[in-house]
Copies of this chain bind each other. A is one copy, B any other.
């Protein structure tokens, strides 16, 4: 398991009530608390008596339990007709949610609006998603999966550098084709995983980060002999590795271990994270219309950054070797 930057420790688990969910007592307590919270809002609208409301909350919770139980007992078997209907409803809810987000951004997502559109009862939607954040988290996981599918499905390239270029271009290409999914991941607090659903976001995010790290590392491995791309370019100098302060490895170790990337050199990990922030800088400004305003094509700026990242990936091994060698020799003064 590796990941795009993942959340720290102590982050709460997802609280969606779905077949693949865990049924631990702590988790169910959260589901109950969140569903009660959601239901209090519902009661303002619906003229239900309190006793009826309690009954409905109880039914919802038991519904979660029974669905989770049934999914465990039928693991591996053909989905039942009921499960198929449920999956279809979830797809429909997500489709309407993405349409709301397309029209008005993540803030526009409204369970009430979806309920109205689907002619469901307000309470029924909570059988599928415990609350709005749970639905958002599901959409973020879907988006991460789609990005990873796009990157893993890239045509095999000529060599490691062409492969790296393809991964970088593939990331931008996916973002431009799915701007709302991209914004959902990288421009919402749900996407950050800081306060919600970290247990599902880290594995989902890990797939695309792994593709990037592998591509960067492969360029370095294929570049042990000095090589030149352009007049004046010397292979054994890369801006990032040149600036690595002593002891930086320890800072990256916890994230690398948590993400299954501990085997990679620190220089590759640093370059991978900075590649992520650099791509995000260009892509988010492009999506916001800020690059078009310069009159310089986003393609041009992006390709220049691709070239910069590629050159740094090529230069990393020699630089790291030099840094190790220098560290073994006592300083002159």
Show the binding face of A for B, using Cβ within 8 Å.
Answer: 5-8, 107, 186-189, 191-194, 198, 229-245, 248, 251-252, 254-255, 258, 270, 273-274, 276-282, 284-285, 288-297, 300-301, 303-312, 315, 318-323, 325-327
Contact = CB atoms under 8 A, between A and B. Distances in A.
Closest 10 CB pairs of A and B: A243-B307, A281-B281, A232-B322, A231-B326, A5-B294, A233-B242, A237-B237, A239-B311, A234-B237, A277-B281
A240 to B, nearest CB: 5
28 contacts: A5-B290, A5-B291, A187-B284, A189-B288, A192-B289, A193-B293, A231-B323, A232-B323, A234-B237, A239-B239, A239-B315, A240-B304, A240-B307, A240-B308, A240-B311, A242-B311, A243-B306, A244-B304, A248-B300, A251-B297, A255-B296, A270-B304, A274-B305, A274-B308, A277-B301, A281-B282, A281-B284, A284-B284
Given A231-B323, A239-B309, A192 B293 contact: yes
Nearest to A321: B232
Contacts of A321: 232
A288 B186 contact: yes
A193 B294 CA distance: 10
A191 B327 contact: no
Contacts of A326: 231-232
A291 B311 CA distance: 25
Given A239-B239, A243-B311, A278-B278, 14 more contacts: A6-B295, A188-B288, A192-B289, A230-B243, A232-B236, A232-B326, A239-B310, A245-B307, A251-B297, A270-B304, A273-B296, A274-B308, A281-B281, A281-B282
A10 to B, nearest CB: 11
A254 to B, nearest CB: 5
Nearest to A205: B293
Contact of A285 (B277, B285, B301, B322): B277
Nearest to A202: B293
Contacts of A304: 240, 243-244, 248, 270, 274
A8 B232 CA distance: 34
A107 B236 CA distance: 48
A232 B241 contact: yes
Nearest to A198: B293
Contacts of A311: 237, 239-240, 242-243
A306 B234 CA distance: 21
Contacts of A308: 239-240, 242-243, 274, 312
Contacts of A6: 293-295
Contacts of A295: 6, 8, 254-255, 258
A171 to B, nearest CB: 13
Contacts of A278: 274, 277-278, 281
A327 B294 contact: no
